[in-house]
C-alpha cells in the first residue's frame, strides 16, 4: 500500500527488509524496485518513508517497525542513529559477520566474475567495543540540536560541541557524551577538555566563518599502555594554549605524548603541519607479536591493533613463504607487514608513496634488528618498474595492501607482466579488490580467501586473497 504526500515523498507499509547493502544500509524491494533503508535490519517488517527517488533505486527511512527481526539487538550507544559511526550496532554481532562475508563473496561474483566454492570462515573480533586505537573529535560552536531541544523552543545557551560530524553535514557536530569505540581514559579526556574550555572561555571553531581557537582533538592509545593526545588550534594564542596544555599535563598523568599544532588552513589535515611536543615523547610505542613500532601523530597504523595481528598472521600463514623467497610489499605504509613476514623470507622490498612512512619503516626495522628489509618511497605506478625489479630482484611473492581505491591500472599491468608465483592481496574494499582481481585472473587463480573483521558494528571489512600463477 502506498500514498503520495504533499512533498511528493512516498509512504510504504509492511515492507520486509531482505538483506544488507553498502555503507551500512539495508535492502528492501517494492514492485520490483530496490529500496535502500537506513537503520533497518534484515528480517524487519516496517513502514518506511521514501525521501530520495532515482531511476534505479529509492532511499528511505523507517517510520515504524511492525515486526522486529530476530537479528536485532539493542544498541549500546545513546548516540546511535544520529552519529552514523556504528550503523550496525542494532544487529547481533554473529549476523554482522555473516553479512560481511556475503558482501565479499557477492563483490567477487558480480564485479570480478569469480565464484568461490571453498573459503575460510570469517575471523571476528574478541573485543567488539573499545577496539580503536585512534579517535579524532571536532570542536564546533554549532552543535547538532536534538528534535526535543528544537520543539522545546527555549533559548539554547550552550551550542558548543566536541564530537563527530553529522553525516552529510560538514558544519554540524554532535556533542558526544560517551563513545564505545576507544578504551578509557578517552571519554574522560574529551569531556574534561570541553568542560575546561567552557569554564575558561576558550572559543570553539566555526567552520563557516573560519574562526575560533579550538579545532580538533586526536587521541591515540596502544596495547603497551602509551597514550597520545594532540590538540589542533586554529591560531596562536600562547597564553590560552599553555593554559589547556598544562591542565592536560597535570590532570592526566597517563598521557605519555602531549602534542599540539597550529593549523590555520581551510582544511584540518595535519600532514603538512608542524607538530609541537609539549610534554613527553613525540610518539607512542605499539607492539605486534615480537615487533615494536613507533607511531607518531602523522603515522598510518591499523586502528584495531589486536585484530591487525590476526590479519597479519593470517596473511603470513596463507602466503606459504619460503626462506628463499624475495617478497615485494606494495603500499607498505610504515612497513608493518613487511617486517612481520621478513623472518620467513630471504629479502623484503617495501614501497610506499609517503616519504615519512618510509622513514618510519626504516627506523622501526632498525630498532627491531631486521636487516633483510629495504624500503623505498615513490608513486607506485612510477617506481614499480622493470628497472626497479632488475635492480632489486624478481619477486617470488608479492604482497599488496592498497588504499580503498585499489591498485592503479598500471600496477595491475606490471603484476601481470612480472608473473610472480603468488600474490597476497589484502584489501579494505572488496569491491575494488574484485575489480583488480578481474584483471589479474587472466594469469592467476584464487586459491585461498580469508575475511577478517577489524571494525565491529560497521560495514567495513578486510579481505585476504591468495592468487596463484596459472
Residue of 77, 83, 86, 428 marked catalytic:
428
Among 235, 309, 247, 306, CA closest to 279: 247
From its phi and psi, is residue 278 left (phi > 0), alpha (psi between -120 and 50) or beta?
alpha
Locate 289 and state its grid cell. 607479536
How far apart are the C-alpha atoms of 231 and 207, rounded to whole Å? Answer: 17
Which has the closest alpha carbon to 425: 436, 414, 438? 436
Q: Is 428 a catalytic residue?
A: yes
| Positive/negative CA dihedral, 241, 246, 252, 257 | positive
- Beta-bridged to residue 328, according to DSSP, are 349, 398
d(CA 346, CA 454): 30
Q: What phi, psi does 303 have (nearest 5°)? A: -80, -5
Grid coordinates representing 455?
571494525
Per DSSP, what are the bridge partners of residue 6? none
Structure-block grid coordinates of residue 14: 509492511
Give the contacts of 413 (CB within 8 A, at least 6 positions apart).
none
What is the C-alpha separation between 132 and 77, in angstroms, rounded? 15
Question: Active-site positions?
Answer: 428
Amino acid at each position: 500500500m502506498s500514498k503520495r504526500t504533499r512533498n511528493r515523498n512516498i509512504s510504504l507499509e509492511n515492507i520486509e527488509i531482505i538483506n544488507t547493502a553498502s555503507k551500512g544500509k539495508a535492502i528492501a524491494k517494492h514492485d520490483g524496485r530496490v529500496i535502500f533503508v537506513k537503520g533497518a535490519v534484515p528480517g524487519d517488517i516496517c513502514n518506511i518513508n521514501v525521501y530520495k527517488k532515482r531511476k534505479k533505486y529509492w532511499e528511505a527511512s523507517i517510520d515504524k517497525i511492525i515486526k522486529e527481526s530476530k537479528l536485532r539487538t539493542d544498541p549500546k550507544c545513546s548516540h546511535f542513529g544520529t552519529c552514523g559511526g556504528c550503523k550496525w550496532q542494532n544487529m547481533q554481532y554473529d549476523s554482522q559477520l555473516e553479512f560481511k562475508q556475503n558482501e565479499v563473496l557477492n563483490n567477487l561474483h558480480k564485479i570480478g566474475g569469480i565464484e568461490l566454492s571453498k573459503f575460510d570462515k570469517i575471523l571476528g573480533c574478541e573485543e567488539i567495543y573499545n577496539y580503536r586505537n585512534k579517535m579524532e573529535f571536532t570542536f564546533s560552536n554549532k552543535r547538532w540540536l536534538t528534535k526535543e531541544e528544537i520543539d522545546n523552543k527555549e533559548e539554547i545557551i550552550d551550542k558548543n560541541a566536541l564530537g563527530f560530524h553529522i553525516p552529510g553535514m560538514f558544519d554540524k557536530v554532535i556533542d558526544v557524551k560517551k563513545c564505545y569505540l576507544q578504551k578509557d581514559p578517552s571519554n574522560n579526556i574529551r569531556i574534561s577538555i570541553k568542560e575546561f574550555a567552557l569554564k575558561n572561555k576558550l572559543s570553539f571553531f566555526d567552520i563557516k566563518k573560519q574562526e575560533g581557537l579550538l579545532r580538533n582533538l586526536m587521541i591515540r592509545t596502544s596495547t603497551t599502555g602509551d597514550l597520545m593526545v594532540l590538540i589542533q588550534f586554529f591560531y596562536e594564542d600562547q597564553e590560552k594554549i599553555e593554559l589547556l596544555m598544562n591542565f592536560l599535563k597535570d590532570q592526566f598523568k597517563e598521557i605519555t605524548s602531549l602534542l599540539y599544532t597550529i593549523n590555520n588552513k581551510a582544511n584540518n589535515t595535519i600532514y603538512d603541519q608542524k607538530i609541537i611536543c609539549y610534554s613527553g615523547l613525540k610518539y607512542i610505542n605499539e607492539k605486534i607479536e615480537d615487533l615494536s613500532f613507533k607511531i607518531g601523530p602523522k603515522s598510518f597504523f591499523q586502528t584495531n591493533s589486536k585484530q591487525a595481528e590476526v590479519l597479519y598472521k593470517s596473511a603470513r600463514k596463507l602466503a606459504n613463504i619460503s626462506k628463499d623467497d624475495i617478497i615485494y610489499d606494495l603500499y607498505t605504509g610504515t612497513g608493518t607487514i613487511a617486517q612481520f613476514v621478513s623472518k620467513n623470507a630471504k629479502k623484503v622490498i617495501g614501497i610506499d608513496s609517503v616519504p615519512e612512512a618510509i622513514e618510519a619503516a626504516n627506523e622501526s626495522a632498525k630498532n627491531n634488528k631486521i636487516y633483510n628489509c629495504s624500503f623505498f618511497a615513490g608513486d607506485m605506478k612510477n617506481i614499480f618498474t622493470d628497472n626497479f625489479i632488475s635492480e632489486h630482484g624478481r619477486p617470488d611473492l608479492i604482497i599488496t595492501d592498497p588504499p580503498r581505491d585499489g591498485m592503479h591500472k598500471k600496477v595491475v599491468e606490471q603484476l601481470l607482466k612480472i608473473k610472480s608465483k603468488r600474490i597476497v592481496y589484502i584489501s579494505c574494499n572488496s569491491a575494488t579488490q574484485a575489480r583488480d582481481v578481474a584483471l589479474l585472473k587472466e594469469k592467476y587463480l584464487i586459491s585461498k580467501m580469508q575475511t577478517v573483521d577489524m571494525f565491529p558494528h560497521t560495514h567495513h571489512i578486510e579481505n585476504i586473497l591468495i592468487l596463484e600463477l596459472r
